[in-house]
Each structure stands twice: as structure tokens, then as C-alpha cells.
Structure 1
């Protein structure tokens, strides 16, 4: 009988009764006494597995639409007018359907997770085994599962607040619609406080990573401390707040003016430092008691690699959990996954049986970020962004700045690349089995550095900024670009440097947009991005090139490319796909056009297919990426005599000027910046929720109500 009851509730919990249509229309998940459900921890683990099944895609939709394409380093590849999703990404230059499918689905799935977690939390709290473990203060399987449910609920609320602002809050199981009859919007301040308190209760009784069989594909105590830090950091940061909502006795510091049309202001709490100290405390718990997690600071792979930053991502491409991960959303090969289809190096291959299959390349990198922020000796640059795509036929193809997808759309992400997998999957697109690394140690360390600097502990801030930045530079450059650079920083300059380091370290991982928001810097960073892009375009138009003053790096209208046989002409052991560019290599070195930039090429594992190609149609040699070559001058003539072809590079940026200038954050023009207007990044609450709330839940931020 118990087995029947358990199976019935599992079906209800996992297959979707709770919050089926909307959290305000949630039928009871079961009429049975849930104390009889979790006979064993195995029963509870199966329910938690059902929550994780929703979790794998929980934030993917809005991450895809806004977070990974809407910062001052990351952008989308298509024409602005070609996709409606560019409207919210660009801060609403025009109004947008409040029932947008991706937004409505995210809202619904977050509340589905929340209610299922509440059911699980209440059931476990009634277990004698759990109560005994709590009284002894010792982690057990019961307290671990309780903590996982608590962490899942808190993370879902974190996402809801990020995307929608003040939202309905409940920390009890919704079993009937009557329970929601009086449920309205709750202040995000209450949500942060309640979820931080719940996590503080649960986390000490969770296993750290590596303990109790817990790896980074499950929520651990290590993740729980990081989540407390994240919630507190968010609570301390600048956010868009409604002026038609009562925040009680919370007072604010404001940037700019209040927008009276859509009744919002850009503010942070006046007691923000209290929350930043909580963030610092719990981030320190992570780095001081990380379990098995660690920052990867060396590369054991030997000569030619020498890039600990890239080593982290290679674990993912080898289908292994990275030791740097604090949480990875786990995927299985052969089932749908957007990693690296949307967020990796593009491929022009077909949907199946290609080398590799199609990779769309949803997230791209601004040219001004690539050329103007990365120093040329920063090991993260070539790992972060690529200048060539996979052709889909085991060869390279030059990236094109024409709007589009695959090899078009501008500089693409390179942290993941199906050609770089230890065992590449060529059967079908979107089925690589690559995990989504949602939180890693470098992310936590840089947040810790910021929280420390913001609260006056500059020594701790510099310690963790140094740890992350050190691995990005060769030994010969440590004194100048790490020790002296960080040593000279203090006050606001230190905070800005940490924010800048996060931009460099986490580009393409969808963290920068929210950073811009929380730091109170979104308006000025939008303005600076647009100004830099405009200056670049003007230079390309007037001179044929533009040199970024911050780095000395030059982008030109044209580059010169030719296919080469690297095995015969350069080095039979060389594999460009996993090669760190040698230090000090000059443009006149015969290997320079092939070895610069690094971390590109194709997989040697496709040798049988490669052998069917013409011998010189696999790898690209490139000149002119970082130097100006006069198209009518002697260097260009010599290159063309040697078989190189002139290819448009910056010229295609000029040809699509609005894409790279005026369409950037189109909903926040310079006039808004000059007037001190707040950035309007919040999403609309779906109509179904508004309509069923009996007027208790109202729309904000100028969005329509139907």
C-alpha cells in the first residue's frame, strides 16, 4: 500500500500537477498524508530527481533571451528587427507581449519548482530521522535532501526577483486554490531575508562537495553557502524598484531620476553594507571550506597547453565534472542540450552526421570588448572568443560580421566547442551531453573580492582578485599585469577593477548583465559601450582601421586568409584546436598566421573525413587580425602572391553599422542616459497570474496588464 501511495505522489509531483497552469491555479498534489510518502531517503531522492528534471531548463529560456546576449561584452548575432526577443534584451525600445512564451514558461516553472520543494521540505520536517539528525547537528542523507530542496527553492526565487522584481512569495505547500485567494506581491526584501534564513538553517547540515557522494551536479553545502552569498549580494545591489509599491520601512539610495511614466527608480537599500557583509561571510565559507571544489591554477596537460583557464572548460567537453564547478546542471548525451549549440563555437554543419553538426551561436562577443579590453597576452582572450567557426566539414571558416547565425553574426564564444570534445558527437545537433556550468570557483572568488572591497577589507579583496587574475597571464607578465596592477588599486578604482575582471573572466557565461545592474553601472556602461563601438566604426570608415587605446590592439576592414596543411607545412604533431599561442610570436614569423590566435582549428579525430578533403582545405592562416595592412600596399601584394585572399572583416561592421551602434540597447538611448533615467530591464508578469489574482497582483514598470 505504501508503495502505491508513493508511486501516486511521485507521478503527481514529477509529472506536473503542482502549479500545472499557474501557481494561482494549483490543484492539490495529493490527499494522502505526506508523512507516509518518504519511507526512505531513496523515495525522497526520486522526488528530488524530478525537481532536477525541471531545473535543467529552468533558467535556459531567459538566459538565452537576455542574460548571455545583453551586456557590454555579449550580444546577439541577428539583425535587431529580425527577432522579437531583442526588445527585452535591449531594454524595451518598444512594448512587448506580456505573455511571451519564454517569460511565461520561466515564471510557471519557477513556481512549479518552489511548490514541489515546499511539499518536500514539509514532508521531511515530519520525519523522525530528520529531526534526530538536526538535534545531533550531523549531516545525513535526510538533512542533505532537505538542504537540496531548500537551495532549489531559494534559487528559483532568486531568478524570479532578477527577472520580475517583487513577486508572490510562499514557503509552504500550495494544496488548494483557496490558499492563494489572498496572495499578492511580496517585497523582494522579504524574499531575500526569508530565503537567506532558510538556507542558514539548512546549509550546516548539508554535505560539502565531495562528501556523502555529492558532486557538483547536485546542490551541496558548498553551493548553499555560495547561494546565501549571492542572495545577500543581490539584496545589497542596485535594482529597478517600483514607486507604486510599498516597501515598508526600507529606505533607498537613488541613482538618477524617477521615471514617472512607468513608475520606477534605480536604487539600493541604504543598509546595503549589512547584506554585503553577509555575502562576504558566506563566500568566505565557500573558499575556506570548499569540499572538493578548487580554482584550477595549473595545467597538467603539458607543453602546448599551458592554460589553466581553458582546462576548466575542457573538463566539460570531456564530459567530466570540473573541479572548479560548484554547480553544474547535468545533461546526458543523446538528449537535448543547448551547450554548446547556442553558447559555443558555431558550426555550419547540417543537423546530423556532420563534423560537427550545426551549432547556431546565439551568444556573440562585441568587437570593442575583444580588441579593447583583453590585453594580447591574456590567456582568456582566445579561449573566450573565436575568429573562425567550424565549417561542419572538419575545417575552419572565417567568422563574418554580417548579421546571421553559424559563421555569421560576429565574434562567437569559444569556451565550448564540439570539435574540442574528447569524444566528439557527430550524430545530431543539440545532443552533445555537455553540462551547463552555472557556478564556478572563480565567480565566487571575484564576488568575494567585490564584497570585501565594498566593506573596507581591501586586503582580502586583493587576495582573491590576484588568485583569479594570476592564472590569466604568463609568468613573465605577472609583475606588470598582476602584482603592480593590483597593488596600485584602492577605493572605487579597486571596485571597478574587480567588476572589470569579472567581465573578462565570465564573458559568455551570462553573468555580466546582472553585474552591470547590481553595481549601479548599467547606464554608464551602456553609454561607454555604444561610444566605443561608434568610435571603432568611424575609424574603420575614415582610416580603414581602428586602434583601441586601452590595449593597442587594431581592428581593420580586411584580413587575408588561406588554407594550409599544418601537418605537412608546419609541424606534424600540431593541433591548433588545443594550442596556446607561443609567447612573443611576431607577425613576420612564418608560424604566426597559423598559431595566432590560438584555440581554433578542427578535430584530429576526424582524420578519416579530413583525408577526403583537399589537403589544403582544413586550417586557416590569417594575417591582419591585429595589425593594419594597407590593401593597396606591398604587404598585401606579397600575401596575395603567396595565395592569401583578401576577406572582409571590419568592412562588414561598416556595412551593418546600425547593428553595431544605434541598435545596441536600443531601449536606452543617449537621451535617457543624459536625463538620468533608470534602465528598464524587468520583465512583465504574465496575464494569467494577473487575471487570477483578484486584483492583488498588479503589473509594474510600465508593462501592459493584458
Structure 2
């Protein structure tokens, strides 16, 4: 992974002058000749490197604060009251500082990139070399640079609308503060439409992935086509809209009632199908112009792996660009990297020189999702969520539903794990060098399937739905869980099934919250989540267990664990860290307690050379994860006679009941759902922008203005 850096001082000066602070606090540009620094495509790429250098951190803060922890599959690990960031994540049960330390930088950095892109685009528009390349009508170095700048700008506007609603829009450089004095909010409809039209002209002249030396660490035409699809999909979807803002001639379909207190409604455009058709067509173009990108459908690593879904994430952990990626933000080992520190398998290690070092585990998985949505033969379940974490001392440790971090906080993500790196990195936390995969082919294909189904093209919808779902099940399961499952659905049932598939496929990747919003399903999915969690808690209280009717999977108050030496006690050939659970294994098999669930354990790289680590204190055998074992019954007594120890599991959910029931989406209680209130997810505009706008930009959605 190569981290792009500034190369020329002149380039550095050029890209740091405009919009250095807030976009309404523009500083005058330097004396650098912009045409000079764009004298060749190579020089222009150096200017773009300044944009990519910001991109490593762009959106990370709000992604961390809300997107990857605020859905009906994903949650945070700490007590609700312990972190103020849980207020916006939970839809504002109380008011929040408008200059939130995560929202304000996102606003500023997006507009900083937008203005830099506008400077680049204007400069290129004035160059004969670019105009000749454009006229030629085929991708070239010049048209690729132009496309990258436009794609970066459009992606920033996509993020701004997602988080802030209607925002200021400009597609020209801001060089003086006077240019912003009359700049107000622009309807998101105009933002979407203008960026889509601009991209339609430019993206066909960009290189596909694999062409022109491009990999997925740069914006390509492949990503550009998907971005058009994404913007059109967003434009077609339900969003929170202000009732004190003029949206012109656009009419809306509304869900529920208007909220008169914070003046907003939950609506989508009445002509949404026009945009959804555009989304389908351009997602198809992304798939058809994929270049070297592809859905990973087979696993060539051997029979014990047998999981093409996990293979995608292993590329990231091997510090390689995944062939499934359309775009991943590149990091360099030894520099700041939040992946997998925040969004991977937790570790209780120290900040430095741990096995592995500390991994906090910001993204967690609801027990009702893990037990109630994944079929037990779905290969994605164990790769998505972990029941054991890393102790930090080269051994497993049982996850704990008591609120907290590291091994506490409940089920955590397992798509990334520093123990699973090809060359495990122990030196320091947050410096693993693992890339942030921001868009992958399965994401695109499922969006394509949804858009196709929503516009009546069920043949296309089922084709791509099956492609993604197929790799999650074994050959023996294809007929029942893929072919019959998909073919048996039509109309709204098909649309809902695709939405559910995205939830299964993309859990822990920060996509589900926005899906819930756009589908118009956020209120009912919040209510369903809370009801399922409450039913689970009541079952645990009453019976000591709860069985989810959708999957037949059982969660119990207690499990039984013991450390084992798998090399001498079980099977020296076992690789628990990278092993798929064998199909059909039952509790009668002596290997069951260490093979179920799969994709856990620790790195042999560590256990083979840490001489002070007892070999019988590394791997954890577990019983009771998916079956009820009576604590006073014969099975429990037999397990305890074998050295197993009873450990709290669901019991800690009961002990922290509000964390897992009433504190879920605390800003959207059941009374809101009954009344048809809109979900309040949009963030506040920073105070500096309001103060410098001369009244042209006003706060909405009930947020304070100072």
C-alpha cells in the first residue's frame, strides 16, 4: 500500500490555499501559476495527490460516529450515557453541540476538496492539451485526471447531502470571500442532478480499473459509473426534508406525518422511478466496465478455507488491493490507520508490542442480528462477527456483553483481524496499514439488483442477487438457499429480500444505516429491532434462553469454555484462525467445541515463538453458543467434569438490559413510530458557516444556530 504524498512545494502551496478553513472563510490563493503546476498529466497527478492525502481521513469521523454503529445490525459497545456521540447515532434523544468535533471537520474537509477540485477542473478546461484529448473521445492521461477531480467532487457532495441535507453548492473555484457572501443552501435535488450530468460526460473518458496503470486506490471510470448509480439511487430514495425550505417544483411521496417542532418530513421524489432507472443503468455500466474488478466467487486457497466471501477481506489483511474493490483508500503500515483498530476483531493488548496490540472494536453486532438473521450455514456469519477476541497475549478470549471496549461490548466485527494478517503487525496500535475498502463489487451488484427490482426488471434483479448470495452457501445448499430462495420471490417481497441481503452481506461496513433511510424503512426497522431485542431479553429472563424463530438459533444465559491445546488434544493440522466450519458437524463430534464457530483463534506466528505462552492456554473450546444447556443438568455437569467453566453470555445482556433495549435509537421511541414521526438523522450545520453567511444559510431540523 502506497500512501500518496506531496512531491513539489509548488503543488503543496497550490492545494492548500483555497478553502483552508471553513468554505466561507476563503483565503486568497498564492502566486503559484496554476497552469504551471498542471503542465503535464504527471504534474496534475501530483496536485491530485493532495486531495487523496486528505481522503485517507475523509468521512472517517462520521462513519465512525454514526454509519457503522447506528443500524439494525450494527451498534456501539459502550453504555449509551458514556459517549456524547451516541446522541446523533441514536437520532437525537437530546440536543447535541452543533460544532460536534466529528461533524465540523467532515463539513470543512469536504468543501476543501470540492474547491480544490474546482480549481483543477477550471485549469484543465483552459488547457489545449486537455481539450484535444477530450475531443479525441477516448480515455487518456488528461481525461483521466479531469475525471478523478470531478469524481472526488461528486463523492464529497454525496457525503455532504447524506449527513447535512441541503447544502451550499458551487461548481466553480472560490478564490475570494466575496464569492461566498451570497451563497446559500441549494436543494439536494439540484446537487444530485448537476453532479450526475457532469459525471455522465466525463466518466466514459476515464480508464477502467486495470487500464492506464490504475488500481482501486485511485478513482477510475469503473468507480465513476458506480458513483453515478449511487447518486441517482440516493436521489430516488426517501430522505428527511425541511418543511421551511423551498424545493421548487419537485413533488414528494410522504411517509408518516410532518414534525412541526423541528419542521421536517420523511419523503422521496414523486418521480423517483426516473432516477432509479438511471441508477440501474449506470450500475450495469459499472459491472460491464469493471476492468480488473470482479466479484470473488471462488476460493483457491484450499478446502479448509472454502470461503470466497472471506477471501475479499484477506486481501486487505495481506496488504494487497482486493480484486473485488472499486475503490479502497490506501494506507501505509507504520502510519495512522483505523482499520482494523476500530472495525475489526478486538484485542486487549497494550498500545505497542502486543499480540496483537490494542484494538478497540467500535463497530459491534446486535445479538438478534447474529442469531436471528444469519442462517447457520451462511458462510458470512462467522466472518462477519466474532464470539472470541484477541487477548493481546496471543490467545483467545470470550467476548462479553457487558458494555465497554476490547473484549467487552458484545459481538464484534471479524472481517478484519490483525492476528489474521499474512505478516502480523505487533509494533503499535492503529498502524497496521490495512486499507479502507469503501466500495466493492458485491455492494454494487446488490444496489443494481434493488434498483432493477424497484423498476420492474426482475430478471436483472435476480441475476445479480443470485451471484452475490451464491458464494455464501455450499454447493449442497445452492438449490434451497439460493435458487429456490431467490426465484420464489417477486414484487415487494423481492425488493425486501434484496434489502435484507445487503444487510447480511455488508454488516459492519457502514452501509446499512443509509440503506434503512433510503428505503423508507428506518422507522419500522428500528421498531422491529427493538421488539426482537426485547423478546430475546424476556426469553433469557424467563427461560434462560431464547430461540429465534427465523433461524432456529438459540442464545443462552451461559456458555461453557475451556482452553485447549489443539495440536496435542484435538488435531495438529487445524488452523482455527483461517478455517471454515465443516458442513454438518454436530455437538457429538469431539472437535465441535473448537471448530464452531469458525474463523477464530490466534496466529501460529506468535504461539510458535512465544516460549512463555503455555500451549494449553491459547485456543478456546466453547459449548452452549447455539444450544441451551441447563446449568444444573447432566450436560453441564459432564462438561464441568472435563474442565469446562461456566461463563456468562446472555446473562450480561440481562444485567445491562437498557443498553440492549430502551437505549436502542433512543431518539426514536415507540411513540414516534406509532405517531408516524420522521426519523431525525441529519446533522447540524457548523456555527462558523452560519455566522459568515449573512443569513443566507439557516439551520434546520430543530438544531440550534449557536
Question: Normalized against structure 1, the TM-score is what?
Answer: 0.98
**Contact residue 559 and residue 623 of structure 2 kept, 8 A:** yes
Deviation at 1:170, TM superposition (A): 0.4
Deviation at 1:31, TM superposition (A): 4.3
Deviation at 1:35, TM superposition (A): 2.5
Deviation at 1:523, TM superposition (A): 0.1
CA distance in 1, matches of 2:672, 2:31: 54
CA distance in 1, matches of 2:99, 2:108: 12
Deviation at 1:574, TM superposition (A): 1.2
Deviation at 1:7, TM superposition (A): 5.1
1:640 alignment counterpart: 640
2:51 alignment counterpart: 51
SS at match of 2:616: coil
**Contact residue 13 and residue 50 of structure 1 kept, 8 A:** no
1:671 alignment counterpart: 671
SS at match of 2:617: coil
**Contact residue 19 and residue 27 of structure 1 kept, 8 A:** yes
Deviation at 1:392, TM superposition (A): 0.3
Matched, 1:346 2:349: no
SS at match of 2:102: helix
1:313 alignment counterpart: 313
2:334 alignment counterpart: 334
Matched, 1:686 2:686: yes
Deviation at 1:37, TM superposition (A): 2.8
1:483 alignment counterpart: 483
Deviation at 1:33, TM superposition (A): 4.7
CA distance in 1, matches of 2:392, 2:213: 39
Matched, 1:298 2:298: yes
SS at match of 1:647: strand
1:577 alignment counterpart: 577
Matched, 1:10 2:6: no
1:238 alignment counterpart: 238
CA distance in 1, matches of 2:274, 2:31: 43
Please give the residue correspondences for 1:120-131 in structure 2 after superposition, counting only pairs within 5 Å: 120-131=120-131
Deviation at 1:615, TM superposition (A): 2.1
1:207 alignment counterpart: 207
Gapped runs of 5+ residues in structure 2?
1-6
CA distance in 2, matches of 1:428, 1:92: 35
SS at match of 1:677: coil
CA distance in 2, matches of 1:9, 1:153: 22
Structure 1 residues 17-48: Cα deviation after superposition (integer angstroms, max 9, x where no partner):
22122101111223455223311111111110
Please give the residue correspondences for 1:243-642 in structure 2 after superposition, counting only pairs within 5 Å: 243-642=243-642
Structure 1 residues 376-431: Cα deviation after superposition (integer angstroms, max 9, x where no partner):
00000000000000000000000000000000000000000000000111000000
Deviation at 1:588, TM superposition (A): 1.4
SS at match of 2:268: strand
Number of aligned pairs? 700
Deviation at 1:198, TM superposition (A): 1.1
2:3 alignment counterpart: none
**Contact residue 28 and residue 174 of structure 1 kept, 8 A:** no
Deviation at 1:616, TM superposition (A): 0.8
Q: Answer with 32-41 or 506-515: which moved more.
A: 32-41
Deviation at 1:325, TM superposition (A): 0.3
CA distance in 2, matches of 1:581, 1:632: 29
**Contact residue 384 and residue 414 of structure 1 kept, 8 A:** yes
CA distance in 1, matches of 2:339, 2:14: 28
CA distance in 2, matches of 1:133, 1:106: 34
CA distance in 1, matches of 2:279, 2:695: 36
CA distance in 2, matches of 1:568, 1:608: 14
Q: Answer with 282-291 or 245-254: which moved more.
A: 282-291
1:3 alignment counterpart: none
Structure 1 residues 459-491: Cα deviation after superposition (integer angstroms, max 9, x where no partner):
100000000000000111111111111111001
**Contact residue 169 and residue 186 of structure 1 kept, 8 A:** yes
Deviation at 1:611, TM superposition (A): 3.4
**Contact residue 12 and residue 47 of structure 2 kept, 8 A:** no
CA distance in 2, matches of 1:426, 1:35: 46
Q: 1:584 to 1:8 in 2, by over 3 A?
A: closer
**Contact residue 449 and residue 460 of structure 2 kept, 8 A:** yes
**Alignment RMSD:** 0.9
Q: 1:33 to 1:615 in 2, by over 3 A?
A: closer
Deviation at 1:10, TM superposition (A): 1.5
SS at match of 2:258: strand
CA distance in 1, matches of 2:56, 2:231: 21
1:161 alignment counterpart: 161
Deviation at 1:345, TM superposition (A): 0.1
2:4 alignment counterpart: none
2:112 alignment counterpart: 112
CA distance in 2, matches of 1:39, 1:594: 61
2:26 alignment counterpart: 26
Please give the residue correspondences for 1:79-118 in structure 2 after superposition, counting only pairs within 5 Å: 79-118=79-118
CA distance in 2, matches of 1:403, 1:468: 34
**Contact residue 9 and residue 30 of structure 1 kept, 8 A:** no
CA distance in 2, matches of 1:653, 1:237: 35
Deviation at 1:296, TM superposition (A): 0.3
Gapped runs of 5+ residues in structure 1?
1-5
Matched, 1:142 2:142: yes
